[in-house]
Amino acid sequence: MLKRLRNITKRDADKEDEPPPSPQRPQQGAAPQSPHRETGDHNKEGFLCPMCMNEMSSAEALQSHFDLVHNQEQAKGFLCPICMQSFHTAEALQRHFDDAHDENKGFICPMCKTGFQSAEGLQSHYEKEHDGLAENRYIAGDVLALRQELDDLRKSLKEERWYAVELKKENERLQSGRSPTKGSMDSVEMDMMKQQLKASEESRTLLSVEVNNMQKELNEAAQKLKDHNEEKKMIEQKAAKLAGDVVLYKARADEAEGQKTALEDHILTLKSQLNDKTVYAQSLETSLAQRPGADDVMVLKQELVQTHTMMDQLAQEKEAEKEKMEKDYEELKTRYQESEQLTRELREELARAPKLEELQRLQASAADSSSGSQKLLESLQKKQEEASMLQGQLEQLRQEKLQLDQTLQEKCSEIGKLNKELETRGNSLHQDIATLKEQLKERDQAIQQKDSNIKTLKEDIGAKETLCNELQEEILEKEKSREEVREQMREKQLVYQQLEQKFTEIEQKTHDMQQTLNEKDSYLQEMQQIISDKEESSQQFQQLLQSSQENCEQLQKQLGELEQRNVHLLTCVEEKEQSLKEIQEEMMKTKAAMAEKETHLASLTQQLGDTKQSSQGQLHEREQQYTALKLELDKTVNQVKVHKASIEDLTKQLNDVHIRHQEESSRAEEFKVLLREKSGELENEIRSREARDSKIKELEGIMSSLRETIDRMETEKTDLIAKIEAGEGVATAINQLKQENATLHEQLTYAKKTLETQGEESQKKEETLFKQLQELKSQLADVQEKCAKSEVGLTEKGEKLASAQQRITELETEIKSKHEVLLATEAAKSSQRADLENHIKTTQAALEEKTQELNTIKQQLEQVTGELNSRGDQCRQLDVTLKEAKTKCNDLEQKCVAAQADIASKVTALEKLQGEKADLEKKLKTAKSDGREKENSLSKGYQGYNLLRNYYKNTLDKIN
């Protein structure tokens, strides 16, 4: 179809560059256009009948065919272009087309494929049914733009139909009003009309093809819109899942840290118990060294063998746990690689997705297509250029992709380094466990760090105060400059430029602060990565717990065996109890004393635990206070950012207002200059009028003087004539008259010269004085305007200074309040620290006293045991075995209790994970069901698209 359009447009461009023929009657002298036609389906040349689409060899044959076949019944003058039915009138043809072929589907919904009669109905339906996502409305706007273009094409089709109807009416009118004398002219006009009909039908077919293409593009755009929405939903779901996972991992990390602290406390207690046991074993060894026995040596050897076997078993179990940990680590690595592949695939899909620029280009090309066939060629060329541009963009995107791959590889190497560091840290944790004093020191260091952070915050506040002071100093300088501005305007401009430079420097400082904030955000992201690594270590801890459960089961078995041994030993003891009652009474007394001391020690240990808990609680409270202060700081920083944004907006508005004011002032100055020029011209005209009036008055005075002289001369003339008639002194009178005439001529010439010179000098002086007056007036007006502007600028700057001072006072009040809060928190922290130190000192003193008492009691016990050893050697052996069994039982019971507690905590964690797994499976099921529904809807849309395609193919076949 595009080739056909190109051929037709080239043919039209070669034929003529005139606009399409009007529906009016052609002129008498107009020559008919060549009716040759070249179609894309079959390369036939001739003259087509517009009614039955038959080809004729010549124009005369076409005219005779039209007169014979189609002029007999005028009802066949209006043919339907789709079903080729004939109608009497154009209105009947229009009604038939609207009823039969329009099918009320001029405006089809791209989502559900329902038809509507108007664009407004389609818009209301789309907003009610399909406008669920507010974020994709701009894409819907693009679709509506395409629909508007389709409306324009339909309107142009209707105009073409009307055009054809009018041409047919003119044809009928010409046939009805044709005379035999004007046959040749009518035939020419008929040829012209037929050619116009042919051109209109061709344009109609072209427009129908364009409508079909535009509908196809609209359907494709709707499908792309659906795909984009689905991809966006998937990405949002993944982001929500990742956020939930991050929260869960953070909670697990907190739980792991709590368990770590509990395990460290438990290890410390075990160490203290081991130290006690070692002391007790040393005392027993000394006693045995004093009195060695073969039986005792055998028993000790057996116990040593048992301990060695136990140690070997524990070492093997630890190696098995290490192997399990390594396997889990490899599995986690594979999962991490799979997640990286998924992220890469998602990025590739995002890169493949069409962009807004491409959609806008498609819209531009669609808009150009509605303007005509010539614009279609231009749009095709533009699209080719755009394709080249897109190729360049694709190359740029590939380069960016390579850069991203390099960055990903670097990040993977960093992750490997972090994993190695985590392994080293785990080994160090397994190797070394810090004592209580070291923890206290670390906590003190943490407190000191927090104090240092608070000090840094204070320093920041001090820096801000210094900035405020600098601003105050600058304000004072501005006031001084304001006073100087009143004296000299040039100095004011220089000070204003300096202020602008300082403002730019402050903006640069704010930009630097924003960069530091961005760096902190990146640091937070790194910390989140470290948290994810810790979550992996928590999973490893779960595996360790499983192995510990197995160890607990083995320990329970050993406990059963030991209980059996204890039963056997008890039977032996019962046989010899009668002989040892007296000895047991003495031992009971000593044991009671020992029990009292042990209870006292237990109370002391409880007090120590309480002090630990209280110190931990206080530290937690301090951390909460520190976080609260941090949050307040963040809030203040955000408020400062908001204020800065508002200030920037206000400055932009002020700049716009200043620009407008300057433009208006420049216009006003131009108007004032024009007024001055006009006033100068008016004054010149007034001055010229005054000069003319003065000249007129002078001339009137001269005329009056001349009249007087004329009157005098006439009187003298009469006197002379009388004298001449009387004959008295004629010669003397003539001489006198000549002399008087000469003197008068001289006086006249001298007076004229003096008048001319004086007039020229006076005019020059007047012009110079007038110019000086105008210059002085303009200077005065300029000075007055400058004074008014300076006063306005001074008032504005005074208002700005007042607002700045108000802001400074507000900031000072806020800083004072925050400083007071910081001082209060510091005082509370110092008091809490002093209380803790005093409490620790008291507990240490009590511990020292109790240790001294224990030492004295131990000495007494040693004396008593020495006396008892002399009484019963056999009882000692049994007691030693019983005590060892009891100690082992107690140790095993404690281990079992600790292991059961750990198992319970891990079981709860596993239950939580299973619940999360079930939720995720439910979400997956819902997502799969949604995907199936969307696939069904897509298949339905594709079926509708195929039906429309078949319908348009059938219509095109009928037209051809």
Is residue 399 in a domain? Answer: yes
Closest of 400, 383, 390, 378 to residue 354, by C-alpha: 390
Q: How confident is the model at residue 73, as a pLDDT?
A: 43
Same domain for 418 and 468, yes or no, is no
Same domain for 501 and 378 = no
Range of the domain at 481: 457-526
Which of 197, 223, 239 delimits the end of a domain? 239
402 within domain boundaries:
yes
Q: Is residue 621 part of a domain?
A: no
Beta bridge partners of 78: 87
From first CA to last CA, the distance across the chain in angstroms is 13
The verdict on 389 and 500 lying in the same domain is: no
55 bridge partner residues: 48
- Whole-angstrom Cα distance, residue 63 to residue 736? 117
- H/E element, 111: none
**Do residue 386 and residue 512 come from a single domain?**
no
pLDDT of residue 1: 39
Task: Reduce the DSSP state of residue 177 to 3 states and report it.
Answer: coil
Rounded CA separation 601/581 (Å): 29
Number of domain units in the chain:
3
CB neighbours of residue 368 within 10 Å: 19
- Residue pointed to by tokens 């005139």: 18
Question: CA-to-CA distance for 661 and 201, rounded, in angstroms?
Answer: 60
Q: Do both 386 and 475 map to the same domain?
A: no
Among 87, 365, 322, 130, smallest CA distance to 226 is for 130
Does 746 map to a domain? Answer: no
Q: Which residues, in sequence order, are bridge partners of residue 280? A: none
What are the residue ranges in the chain where pLDDT is below 50?
Answer: 1-45, 72-76, 103-105, 133-140, 179-182, 292, 369-370, 373
| The pLDDT of residue 276 | 78
Question: pTM, whole model, 2 decimals?
Answer: 0.22
DSSP 711-774: HHHHHHHHHHHHHHHHT--HHHHHHHHHHHHHHHHHHHHHHHHHHHHHHHHHHHHHHHHHHHHH
Q: Are residues 418 and 474 in the same domain?
A: no
Is residue 794, in this structure, part of any structural domain at all? no
- Domain final position from 239, 272, 291: 239
pLDDT of 438 reads 67
Q: Are residues 101 and 203 in the same domain?
A: yes
Q: Nearest CA to 148 among 184, 170, 123, 171?
A: 123
Same structural domain, 418 and 482? no
Neighbouring C-beta atoms of residue 909, cutoff 10 Å: 19
Domain co-membership, 134 together with 35: yes
Two structure tokens written together for 638: 């955000």
Let me know if residue 437 belongs to a domain: no
- 390 is a domain residue: yes
In a domain, 124, yes or no: yes
**Could you give the 3-state DSSP secondary structure of residue 278?**
helix
User: CB pairs under 8 A, 24+ apart, for 193-197?
Assistant: 193/26, 193/167, 194/35, 194/47, 194/50, 194/62, 194/66, 195/32, 195/33, 195/35, 196/21, 196/167, 197/50, 197/164, 197/167, 197/168, 197/171
Q: Looking up tokens 């937070």, which residue turns up?
A: 524
Which of 415, 432, 449 is the C-terminal boundary of a domain? 432
CA 223 to chain centre: 27
Q: Name 253's Cβ contacts closer than 8 Å, sequence gap at least 6.
A: 531, 534, 535, 538
The Cα 118–Cα 105 span in angstroms is 9
Same-domain check for residues 26 and 148: yes
Predicted local distance difference test score (pLDDT) of residue 447:
63
Residues 514, 379 within the same domain: no
Q: What pLDDT score does 591 carry?
A: 64
Do 399 and 514 sit in the same domain of this protein?
Answer: no
In angstroms, the CA 506 to CA 647 distance is 13
Q: How far apart are CA 21 and CA 32, in angstroms?
A: 12
| pLDDT tens readout for residues 700-747 | 887 788 778 778 777 877 777 777 677 655 666 667 667 777 777 777
